[in-house]
Structure 1
């Protein structure tokens, strides 16, 4: 090799060495461990000297390497003083490896967070300020001993979703903290905290029953953040675990168990075999989705992967005496006649009642003590219990538990709907109400109703029955007819009291039709059509009060009439002495009447109307005033004039005396202006005003301010029920133009 080549190589290698050294120096400066970065969590706690017991637990739990290596943890570290108190309080002389593991893993949450960030919800859209009060810990329960539905011992694991199980999710428990930012923005105070932790002092920096020690938080470590706490934290039980362990809730637990299935899981079974060396099936304990939530699910709704940071479940768990008392007074009240004596037997014949009873005690939200009567359960009920009913209170791993000495009186049982819901003699009506979507108003406690009950025997006689073999259309018979009939049996009360049925009156049903009551009997347009006098009314057998009204019992149904409106006018207008005689004579010879069908032009099936029929004296006056054809001197009417002017007068008169699109009765409810069938030469609708409406007075006013009163005496023909129509006799005629 020539000397010049050798010199070139020496220079080149020297340059490469210097360049590499410079790059390494830059690499180390950028990627190297910062000089001001704290040691890992384990080493920092070791250096402080007052965490020896916690570090012993870390060693026993096998987490020394984890807390000494890279990662991102938030560790709530109890001091030696906290451990000493814990050992004394629990009469312990040593910490077993199992207990050490539980303490350490429950004190570790994922992601290193300063105190200022713990109240923020780490959502899939980023942090949302001051909406979080929980974080997922490293701790989770694994396989445990259980007993299946047949009493056989099995190995089981809890569900980690509501109604299902995901193999990749370990069902980690969450650690709650009660920090000032979250508490303030949610209107919570020390009272809410101390309700569950009476032995702790609320500071606004609480983690479960512990306090974060002043000046000993936000300690930054290489692998996370340390917050020092003054108590040892141990994982609480889940709602499922707690109720299963407490004999005072055994009756309620028995009801919950009816929604449990145990399903073998190959993946968990294999994992269990690897960890323990034991071969055998492991079963997942699943709660059916019929329940509001799974009491063993440590996750939340999973709408967001981290939504357990912001929410948890709540349960008002009735003790055995409370369940038994409610079963006797309510759930089983009507079933004795069917030989059903126990809740287990009731579940067989009416499982929906048990489901609703259980769900009335379950809330998919955090029910804070100060919000006791605000949160709604899945039945849309707020708690009807008071804090005096609470005999047990627990902040559990997946929610709050209130042990109560009285069962929730759910709206599905305590409202007027409850009378249909609970009584097996009204099963078809119940199923039909549900099928047609008519139950929600009836079971809403704030909406007042009267419901007229229709027994199964009556509905079957009418051709209606329930057939479970047709799940998409289980109500057999004319569904349109049954829906209309049911709606006629539902009476909105508004702010009115339930009527005194010994008197008389008229009530508008939920579909706009009317029913009447008189001397303890009910009638409708359909019953009134009966040729058998005894069937024209339905005797009221009894009236049961509910929180939002009353249920009225009879043995028949309030039916509707298929007859045209004119047929009911004809009924009281054929004889010269009949109250509607003159009006009907004009109607039947008018241009707007079809004598064959009884149809009146402008009156359509399915639309509501009010027909106002002037008395004979009023008709006579209308003739004298030239509003109707006839002798203007004597007032004798010409019912069938030959001239077009006379025919038009009759048509216009009739049309103006028919209120369009609404029925008005003397029930004190409707006043105001309503359109009539009459239109002027320009096509404008003419109005009639209801100016007075009470149970004893009903007044109509025309466009000229003439008034006419409905005749409401017992022998008068007002509030006559027709096909979606109410007919009134009035003491004056109404004028449609000046």
Structure 2
């Protein structure tokens, strides 16, 4: 009680003071003379907005628009309403229901006040970006909708984010209005043709709101700006809604709804709904698969910053039912019995192939790529049959399906065949293989072992642990995890060959050697001969851990090459390179003279084949002088007379070690294909510890190596005895030695 007495003793004198001053303060805070009337009073006073003011009252917005605020109003005049009433069957404004009235009024209201000169500027977090905007957020949003989902009634609300952040409570998902201005068009290299592509019967004036004309701009009001329009605009549908109500695209939509949509209960939305309606229903958010480039029911743009929807929107190009059904029958179901049996990633890729995370203006369509990074393969003059400016972007209906690389490349042979899910998984797991072999602009040959073959080789995928597993068929030892995945990645890279000239098109009747991978990431070399494939591991005797040759058992021709079906992998070798040279020496005496010096050198371990400085898994080229070349090296005292270390001085041992190192190119695998030329580093270091080099000349059918001595002839490879495979290495027989 004491506190209350003190409170009133304090407040009452203040009230008296304020009362005594009110006559002096009132003039200061009076509405300034000459200030324009608020929006509602302006509309009322002008006399040609009678229908609009009536609807403002019916929508409950008279009070809001009669007071202070900050709005832009796209205001249709009475002439516009006369046409609207005729089109919609209303005899007069009194017959317009309150829901329609609210749609018209709220969609006509843009947050914040913008004169015409500012509407083309993007209101970014860093300031105004001139001539970079063509959309603004309106006061209209759909809110809660009652729908029948899978035969059950549900109250749903659209998602308001993309990706994994799928719904933010408190964001009403307001619709945007699109307008077209000369300033924006000039800045973006657009023309009236872009406007008329969507609105062929409308006139482009340089300031249009959707297809309506602005008949008078910049009517200034106390609480904003009015732009007078000659047409009434109802809120457009978003892409999700347009798909739902248009039966021409029902097949494509059905694929999305059944595979890439879910309805998640949301407590915050439910609480808001119950408080607002006093009903007890649960509310579900319609979510799209987070792998999609955007959610078609998301009215916001990226939300990287609050206003980014002013500067851009989405595009979706959707095939009509007939075109899509043909694609399903001829492409998707080539190896599957029903659409329902396709893997989820096929649906994700298919829809992303028809999405662009930007508004695709028709005259600039070549500037855009889809969500898979592909060019848009549509002729906008002949292939696009339906064009709509919607609330969250552009919609194009098409008489064809986007010819995505994923469905017409060698990648497709695994991707759309249930017998090759393991191969597809490896291609897809961030290896870059998918992007490589699905590039329709480059030609590839791939070798595909089926899931059954991989399982027979001991490989499987543990879906519970999410990792690869391998049981060694030789000893039953099981391993799993990253090591097994890396092993498979290397094996599958041996199965990918860039073949720009169709080098492997006639694999059944030809033979040769070729490098796997592509020019950006060279792989290992493999050989082929009459429908058989060999990597380094297929040349190692089976008793020493090698593998049999790979047999080609079928093929499929795609637009960028051939997929050959095979009965096992081209195996990489776990044998040290010295052992490969030893085997060559045992069968070809031309290699033996060099091998005798190698075997007895201080840098070689005969029991394992280990050469000092040479490691498994790294790339090398071994240049082996033939018998006559070794004899010349001995005569020139480049090598000691005897290869036996016991008969050599320490200086001679060092000379041999240097000689061998100088005949090994480090970190490069060189063949006669012209891929690698010029100065290449060897394993040898000079007396100062600096690297030494040899000059490589390589072209189709020829290969030679030149030292830097200046007076020694180049060592030319002997084709019949060269291009021998070892672990990430090639071993060549040459007709001369290199002088360190």
What TM-score bracket applies, with the shorter chain setting the length? 0.7 to 0.9
RMSD of aligned C-alpha atoms? 2.8
Q: What is residue 575 of structure 2 aligned with on the other side? A: 563
Alpha-carbon distance, 1:269 to partner: 5.1
- 1:699 and 2:704 correspond: yes
Residues 243 and 250, structure 1, Cα contact 8 Å, conserved in 2: yes
Gaps of 5+ in 1: 1-15, 336-340, 631-635
Q: Retained in 2: the 8 A contact 1:512–1:663?
A: no
> Which structure 2 residues correspond to residues 33-432 of structure 1 after superposition, within 5 A?
33-95=31-93, 96-97=96-97, 98-149=99-150, 151-162=151-162, 164-213=166-215, 216-258=216-258, 259-265=260-266, 268=269, 279-335=280-336, 341-346=337-342, 350-387=343-380, 388-432=382-426
Whether contact under 8 Å (2:621, 2:731) holds in the other structure is yes
Inter-partner Cα distance in structure 1 for 2:265 and 2:662: 75
Give the direction of change, closer, same or farther, for the CA distance of 1:345–1:680 in structure 2 (3 Å limit).
closer
CA deviations over 1:353-405 (Å, ceiling 9, x no partner)? 12221222222221221232332333222322221221111111111111112
For residue 623 of structure 1, give the secondary structure of its aligned residue in structure 2. Answer: helix
Q: Distance in 2 between matches of 1:222 and 1:362?
A: 43
Which residue in 1 is equivalent to 2:684?
678
Change (3 A) 1:64 1:364: same
- C-alpha change, 1:264 and 1:554, in structure 2 (3 Å) is closer
1:207 deviates by: 0.9
Q: Is the CA contact 2:602–2:653 (under 8 Å) kept in the aligned structure 1?
A: yes
Q: Tell me the matched-pair count.
A: 696
Shift in Å, 1:266 = 5.5
Who is 2:461 aligned against?
Answer: 466
Alpha-carbon displacement from aligned partner over 1:212-263 (angstroms, at most 9, x marks no partner): 12xx211111111111112111111111111111111111111121233334
Q: 1:481 to 1:266 in 2, by over 3 A?
A: closer
Match of 1:452 among 447, 453, 462: 447
Match of 2:653 in 1: 647
Task: Determine the C-alpha separation between the residues in 2 that align with 1:280 and 1:703.
Answer: 85
Contact 1:361 1:408 in 2 (8 A): yes
Counterpart of 2:10 in structure 1 is none
The CA deviation string for residues 688-711 of structure 1, in whole angstroms up to 9 with x for no partner, is 1112x2231112111134212111
For 2:4, the equivalent position in structure 1 comes to none
Q: Kindly report which structure 2 residues correspond to 1:568-717, keeping only aligned pairs within 5 A, or say none.
A: 568-574=580-586, 578-630=589-641, 641-691=647-697, 693-705=698-710, 706-712=713-719, 716-717=720-721
CA distance in 1, matches of 2:149, 2:595: 77
Q: 1:233/1:731 Cα in 2 relative to 1: closer, same or farther (>3 Å)?
A: same
Q: Distance in 1 between matches of 2:659 and 2:268?
A: 84
8 A contact 2:537–2:547 mirrored in 1: no
d(CA) in 1 for partners of 2:685, 2:191: 66
- Looking at structure 1, the residues matched to 564 and 715 of structure 2 have their Cα atoms a distance apart, in angstroms, of 35
> Can you give the 5+ residue segments of structure 2 that lack an aligned partner in the other structure?
1-15, 471-478
Give matches, 1:526-537, under 5 Å: 526-531=537-542, 536-537=548-549
**Which sits farther off after the overlay, 192-201 or 369-378?**
369-378
| CA positional deviation for 1:561 | 1.2
TM-aligned CA distance change 1:269 to 1:621, over 3 Å: closer
Deviation above 6 Å: which 4+ runs of structure 1?
A: 532-535, 636-640
Structure 2 Cα separation of the partners of residues 160 and 47 of structure 1: 39
Change in Cα spacing, 1:699 to 1:60, as seen in structure 2 (3 Å) is: same
CA displacement, residues 315-359 of structure 1 (integer Å, 9 cap, x when unaligned): 111121222222222222122xxxxx221233xxx1221222122
The answer to whether the 8 A contact 1:373-1:384 is kept is: no
Is the alpha carbon distance of 1:621 and 1:428 closer, same or farther for their aligned partners in structure 2, counting shifts above 3 Å? same
Q: Distance in 2 between matches of 1:674 and 1:116?
A: 63
Contact residue 179 and residue 205 of structure 1 kept, 8 A: yes
TM-score (norm 2): 0.88
Q: Which residue of 2 aligns with 1:553?
A: 565
Please report the TM-score for the alignment, with normalisation by the length of structure 1. Answer: 0.88
Distance in 1, Cα, partners of 2:503 & 2:33? 81
Per the TM alignment, residue 557 of structure 1 is displaced from its structure 2 partner at its CA by 0.6
2:13 — aligned with what?
none
> Is the deviation greater in 90-99 or in 471-480?
471-480
Deviation at 1:303?
1.6
Q: Is the 8 A contact 1:374 1:383 kept in 2?
A: no
1:158 and 1:256 map into 2 onto residues whose CA distance is 15
Contact in 1 for aligned 2:445/2:504 (Cα 8 Å): no
2:511 paired residue number:
504
224 and 324 in structure 1: CA distance in 2 versus 1, 3 angstrom threshold: same
Cα distance per residue 1:85-119 (max 9 Å; x no partner): 33344454334123222111111111111111112
